[in-house]
Chain A
Amino acid sequence: MKNILKIFTIVFLASLTSCESFLGNNENPNQATFATPQLVLPNALTSSAVLLQNYNNNAQWITGYTVNAGGFGGWGAIVTYNFTTTTYNTLWENTFDDLINYQYIEQASMEDPSQAYFLAVAKVMKAFDYHMLVDVFGDVPYTEALKGAENVTPKYDDQVAIYTDLVAQLNEAITIFTTAEGANSLGAADVIFGGDINEWAKFANTLKLRLLIRMSSGEASSAFAASEFASMNTSLGFIEDDAKLNPGYIATDGKQNPTWERYHSNAAGSQSAFGRSAVVSEYTFSFYNGNKILDNGRGSASYRAFPADTPLGQLGDLADNDFALANYTAWYVGSGTGSEATNTIGLLKGRTADFPMMLASESYLLQAEAYMKGYLNGDDAAAFENGVKASFRYLYEDISGATSEDWDQDVDYPLYLDDNPNNPLVIYSLATTNVQKLEAIVTQKYIALNMINGQEVWSEFRRTTFPKIANGSINPERTFASILSTSSRADKLPVRYLYASTEFQLNPENVPTGKNQFTDTIFWQSN
């Protein structure tokens, strides 16, 4: 008995003492538990491109860039605007999922002057993501958001207050970009400007311009916008080149340019369902085919088989819309199909093409409006012209950013003017009133951002009601509203999305209830 107890005690103690080493440290051999701003930024920026594309994909059903192709059914809320709280869950989650990475960079670089540029980029990109979120949801969690476990039920902040703070954050970022000393270069982590801080400063300033112009239209925010315009750093300037992102897209699944992946084909060459189930709205097309504006240059750079055989339709028309072209999506103008598709110009330049985060064209057209309205001092006519030209340039560039003799904006832009001699939407000098000028500016923005930034165009339409539509018309060239619209509004359009159902489940005390997608406008929309 004694011996056995002794043996047992020894075994017992031995197992206890060796226990700690036997149990080990539980260190993760599979995933990183630590990162740095340098490692997080490239991923965050690339995610922002995908996020922007998500916003665009949703918005361009509303703005008429895409409509349902013949032969496809099950469109649901896309054609009825009968949104539910589950319709935009992904958008909601993806935005915060991207934002948390910038929040991480901000936290990790805040105390470290050598990381100042990372801090500033994080602030700019937070503003970039957040304003899109506000533009479709209104009040959203902001001051209590992105705090992880510290606050799992963040309150919702007033949309004007959020916009106001985003401008303040952009101001801080601009200050860092222009004055920081001893900060490390962003280096390869900057997949937009390759570490060019001056471009970042201009990008921040242009984004601020976008926000302020929007705020100038809101009753509660116009005074703030005016004071910010008054103190704006105009010597810094705005972007003159397209802000384009490319982490190194290659022809591998999940690593292609996201627009190509969505509308053209996957890396293996299988045609995308989205590229086949969507065609061009007759409304948008009329800005190219001469019915409203004749634009042979950008028309043939943007649309396959332009002008005669581009597949057209009207949103919600389930009977008569054209089928997609066999083997081709409507927005690819190159040759070859599937994996044989060649690089080209236009909207779908190739599998590895840069992704446009903000076009120079938009920068100029924002300036044109600011000059025209006297918010800033400048030549609105010149800015307007530069805006249209920059749009030609973007579309005419091939995948390497070069233009050729075949696609020369210096030839085609004058032709464009000649083809539309009496059209104030093209010839700015023909627009006499401020309303006409605004219509020209925003309509050109609608054309320039066609299939590039539907999100921005939808916001601008809601702010300005341009490009003009005929409320309630069933003529497909006169409105981009769906003929199956359930909207109670005169324009038959929605004005916002509904909060994600996950918020009703997980943050029910805070999420605003009773929002309606036809009546609850965003602060900068007047009606």
Chain B
Amino acid sequence: MKKILLLGLSLFLVSALAFAQGRKVTGTVTSGEDGMPIPGATVLVKGTTVGTATDLDGQFSLTVPADGKVLVFSFIGTATQEINVGQKSVIDVTLQPDVQSLSEVVITGAAGIESRRVEMGYNATSIETRDVAQGRAANVAAGLTGKVAGMQINTTGSGVNPNVRVVLRGARSLTGNNEALIVVDNVIVPNSILGSLNPQDIQEITVLNGANAAALYGSAASNGALIVITKRGKAGQTRVTIGHTVNAEKVSFYPEIQDQYGSGTVGGYPQEYVPYENQQYGPRFDGQPRPVGRPLEDGSIQTLPYSNTNSKNDFWNTGITNQTDLSISGGDEVSTNFLSAQFLDNDGTTPGDHFTRASLRFNSTRKFTEKFTASLSANYVQNRYDITTATRGMFDHVLQTPAQIPLTNYKDWRNDPFANPNGYYNEYYPNPYFTLDNERENSGNDYIVGNIELKYKPVQWIDVTYRVGISNRYSFYKRTVGQFTYTDYTKGISSSKTDQAGSIRDRNAFNNQINSDLLINFKKAVGTDWFFNLLLGNSVRQNRSKSVINGANGIVIPDLYNVSNRVGEAFAEEDNFTTSQVGVFAQFKTAYKDYLFLELTGRNDWVSTLSKENRSFFYPAANVSFLISDAVAGLKNSKTINQLKLRGGVSQVGQVNLGDDTNFGAYSLQSTFSPSKGFPFGSLSGYSLDERLVAANLEPEITSSFEFGTDFVLFDNRINGSFTYYQSETKNQTIPTGVSAATGFTEYLQNTGIVSNKGFETNLNLTVYSHNNFQVNLGGNYTYNDNSVVSIASDLDRLQISTGGNAQVYAVEGATFPQLIGSSYKRDDQGRIIVDAKSGYPSAAEGQIQLGNTIPKHRLGLNAEFLYKGFRLYALAEYRGGYSIFYEGGGSFDFSGSGITTTYFNRERFTIPNSSYEDPENPGTYIANTNITVTDGGSNFWSDGSFRRNVAENYIVSGDYWKLREVALSYDLPASFMNKIGFIQGATFTAQGRNLLIFTPKSNIYTDPDFNFDDGNAVGIVTLAATPPTRFFGGSISLTF
């Protein structure tokens, strides 16, 4: 968008400049953004009016007067470059994009409406393709991490294609959707598509941070929006680009584990070596040879040195991603075409995991008449997974491996008798390599996403747009567990090894969304001062999904994974969902003298998921923008303040938060009955009340928000920045609150609860230096978000969001959301842990306490960019702070004795720090404990459930970190060099890395806090289901023909 505008503006400058006598200098001016020549760039001898402009090939020829020492190169939208002429006769210049966004820059906003930045009464950030794609993240959203104020992006795991969660301005909805709306080429698409977009296809991403900006999108706009515009062809020469990227992925953060003690079970003291034990409470390593496991049937037994092998950490592979890109773009006056293809192949860090993604895109536009244009955008993506389903189990099995075991020697479980489950040394946990191979998923998704847009402009002041979009996802998986039968010998000596019967789950599903949008836009200028714009729109959406799953537990013929090959009855289930939504909206914009802008919008939605009485709801928004720098005479043409804008807005958006993107909230209004406990049995059917109660008359959630802020450009365009304060309140939350089981139910879906969010988003970008083709840009963005659960329900001050272990994610009235709540130690009034005066052991408190909020309050992104001729070095660091996480695997480490914590006191008796015991003379008062040591400081302490493993506070760590998120170094071969080759127009080489370094507080001995066990709102728990965090690094090459 930006490019087209720039070309138009600059060509007329060519003839305006005078010529003079002197030395002749020639050269080429190219764009740092894409390496292409810039036509119409101005070349001026500093301090004179002598100059010229580049021709269509970006070339210039200028006679420099004898006293001319410096040439000034400038072009709209780029930073000005000054070059010392010296003795040079050829000067090639690369003009880099300006750090500031131009006041004339047009941003595609809600409903595909293009607005100039100056008009916008709300915060919006545009990110160019280079910034998204430079780190070569396979996922578009991952490439945005840390780059936009107000936007938090979390990758929920480290698998081959992990989910990415995008949240703007904090969590508003307690249990509903908080993720930003995703819009591709002006059509709303399901969030899951984000992971399937080819980052190379993206022209621009606009982030609409708040509901104000997105209100026109209707429901879900309360979460802000990510507006993705894909590339279009350009009029002119056909360009073909081919690129290839190789990235390596390596584990960057292992949980800290002990390397001093080997196999031994929980028991007395001193510890005894047990050759087949997974627990690591044995004696200290002494390097002596010891037997490992039980003897095989032929009597052979392994003997291995009793010392640390570090093999657990060597378990993970170096993942390799190969990505090949091809794009063809071209066009003429009336039509443009863009065709792209990408193939990505990824081997993960988990041995055997494999992922491929192939995508094709065809974007086309055609101007049939002056009044009528049509465009098409079509995208097909296919991805395929071959992964293990047992990540959590496998990771646990790895960590249950004593440090003396050479784990990586046991890969070949089919042939190596000591790796085979029959002969595997570990009595209780299987060989992780066997687990990996035996529990598999083959799955895939086929996406077809596309839209057709027709634009009709009968007269100058009216245009009509009609768009129909489809996003279709077909998905399938086959999950299998292999059959394994142990030998009688093994079963005879190992009572805990039992046969695996094998199982199959086979699922097919489709998920389909059709959108239809009609927009009529009226524009009218009245006099010279006033401008009016009225937009009327209608939008219709239908979502359908269906899934069928069948399966069998227990297969007959090994390795035949078909549901017909089974024991007993088959398992089968189906789900069908259809929902519809109709919206009408209007937007009225007026501008006064091009410096004062007002925008009013209103939208009414009708949704199928609510009762007939409640399914229609209306919500308005208003925004104002005031360009002070244009309104105040003294500021016009100021070199110091190039632009200063104040803006503000209020809005209300309704969101129906009943379901997810599979069920869309359909059929949630009635309590249901389901067959349970094995029903039906033959001809006997049976139904049981389901656990959820539903309140009568559910209504939409309403988010009311306001924001105000400023955008500014200072010091001759060298500094730009923005500041936005926002506040929002979401009420009428549709929440399945937990209720006392004594009601007969466990959930109660009702409208209740208010959550408020407030915070600010800032960013500042500066061009520190720009001279002689050398430019340094620095940027930073800082976000502060604080939210508070104002209320949940009259008789409820806590709402459980996740279920399971000893600490869970909650919403707590009056506290930041989400909040970890879990078990803690009994403490005295001074906060000391109360221990038993005899045993020295602590005990768990009866209730559960708040253990910390789980979303960072502070986020800071810092980036630096160094540009020299064709070189570009970019680095991005990110800080997140002010939150905690719960590491669920910690309990498993303590149980097995692999955890570093178990060695903190050398497994000797110790006094619990900061503890006290009850004064036997004065019950209720406590004496500081300085001498009562725990009865056993070894296995019996660390593996104990009641006062160690089940006490959640033991596994809470600070989530704070600094991360070197992205570094990319690229080099564009100079145009002059390319000209010599001829058929190649451009070549770019890049070396890139992501997540290169992470710095966490010492207390975080477990993991990268970004990871999360769930891609929903229950943020803050890391489990072993997430493999260890990784860093990526690699290189790429891109050639343009």
Contacts and interface: CB of A to CB of B under 8 A. Distances in A.
Interface of A: 1, 4, 8, 11-12, 15-16, 19, 22-24, 26-35, 39-44, 46-47, 50, 69-74, 76-77, 80, 82, 84-86, 92-93, 96-97, 99-101, 103-104, 140-141, 144-149, 151-154, 188, 191, 247-255, 266-271, 273, 276-277, 318-319, 323-327, 338-339, 498, 500-507, 509, 513-514
A149 B748 contact: yes
A498 B458 CA distance: 76
Contacts of A76: 944-946, 950
A96 B739 CA distance: 12
B730 interface: no
A172 B59 CA distance: 102
Given A145-B742, A146-B744, A42 B684 contact: yes
Contacts of A148: 693, 743-745
23 contacts: A11-B518, A15-B538, A16-B584, A26-B579, A30-B576, A33-B670, A39-B687, A43-B675, A71-B495, A86-B823, A103-B744, A146-B743, A149-B750, A152-B740, A248-B682, A248-B684, A268-B568, A270-B501, A270-B554, A319-B267, A503-B740, A504-B846, A504-B848
B743 A30 contact: no
A505 B684 contact: no
Interface stretch (B70-78, B91-99, B143-151, B605-613): B605-613
A191 to B, nearest CB: 7
Given A77-B946, A250-B568, A327 B492 contact: yes
Interface string B572-615: 00111111111010000000000000000000001111100001
Given A12-B538, A26-B609, A506 B739 contact: yes
Contacts of B741: 92-93, 96-97, 500, 502-503
A411 B889 CA distance: 57
Given A33-B672, A100-B745, A19 B795 contact: no
A72 B950 contact: no
B1002 interface: no
A35 B689 CA distance: 9
Which residue, A40, A47, A73, A100, has most C-beta atoms of chain B within 10 A?
A73
Given A101-B688, A505-B848, A255 B568 contact: yes
A141 B740 contact: yes
Contact of B495 (A16, A191, A276): A276
Given A15-B540, A82-B946, A266-B501, A32 B742 contact: no
Interface string B842-881: 0110111000000000000000000000000000000000
Contact of A47 (B267, B688, B695, B748): B688
Contact of B498 (A70, A86, A270, A500): A270
Interface in B792-845: 795-796, 798, 800, 806, 821, 823, 843-844
A71 B846 contact: no
Contacts of A31: 667, 672-674, 690
Given A32-B674, A33-B671, A507-B740, A15 B582 contact: yes
B997 interface: no
Given A19-B606, A26-B667, A326-B492, A100 B744 contact: yes
B677 A253 contact: no
B580 A22 contact: yes
Nearest to A247: B681
Contact of B678 (A19, A32, A254, A504): A254
Given A24-B578, A152-B748, A502-B741, A47 B676 contact: yes
Contact of B686 (A247, A249, A268, A504): A247
Interface string B723-749: 000000000000001111111111010
A49 to B, nearest CB: 8
B567 A269 contact: yes
A32 B352 CA distance: 43
A93 B677 contact: no
A318 B567 contact: no
B779 to A, nearest CB: 44
Contacts of A338: 499
Given A73-B265, A77-B946, A318-B267, A141 B501 contact: no
B495 A267 contact: no
A245 to B, nearest CB: 11
Contacts of A255: 568-569, 678, 681
A158 to B, nearest CB: 15
B666 interface: yes
A96 B677 contact: no
Nearest to A188: B684
Interface string B509-532: 000000000101010000000000
B376 interface: no
Contacts of B687: 32, 35, 39-40, 43
A328 B198 CA distance: 56
Interface string B606-650: 111110000100000000000000000000000000000000000
A80 B576 contact: no
A151 B748 CA distance: 11
Nearest to A511: B740
B701 interface: no
A50 B679 CA distance: 13
B520 A268 contact: no
B689 A104 contact: yes
Contacts of B693: 148-149
Contacts of B536: 8, 12
Contact of B679 (A29, A43, A268): A43
Given A71-B496, A271-B499, A250 B682 contact: yes
B924 to A, nearest CB: 14
Nearest to B551: A253
A254 B846 CA distance: 35
B685 interface: yes
A191 B742 contact: no
Contacts of A251: 567-568
A24 B608 contact: yes
Contacts of A99: 744
Given A97-B741, A505-B800, A26 B669 contact: yes
A181 B691 CA distance: 35
B568 A506 contact: no
A253 B823 CA distance: 35
A100 B689 contact: yes
A500 B672 CA distance: 26
Nearest to B836: A486
B301 interface: no
Nearest to A27: B667
Contacts of B607: 23
Given A42-B685, A152-B737, 10 more contacts: A15-B540, A35-B673, A93-B741, A96-B744, A97-B691, A97-B744, A152-B740, A324-B495, A327-B488, A339-B501
Which residue, B669, B740, B944, has most C-beta atoms of chain A within 10 A?
B740
Nearest to A83: B946
Identify the 6 closest CB pairs spanning chains A and B, nearest first: A268-B554, A268-B501, A100-B744, A43-B686, A252-B568, A76-B945
Nearest to B669: A26
Contacts of B494: 326
A93 to B, nearest CB: 4
A40 to B, nearest CB: 6
A465 B678 CA distance: 38
B353 interface: no
B686 A506 contact: no
Contacts of B916: none
B686 to A, nearest CB: 3
Contacts of A43: 675-677, 679, 686-688
Contacts of B950: 76, 84, 86
Contacts of B493: 326
Contacts of A319: 267-268
Contacts of A318: 265-267
Contacts of B750: 149
Contact of A40 (B502, B584, B686, B742): B686
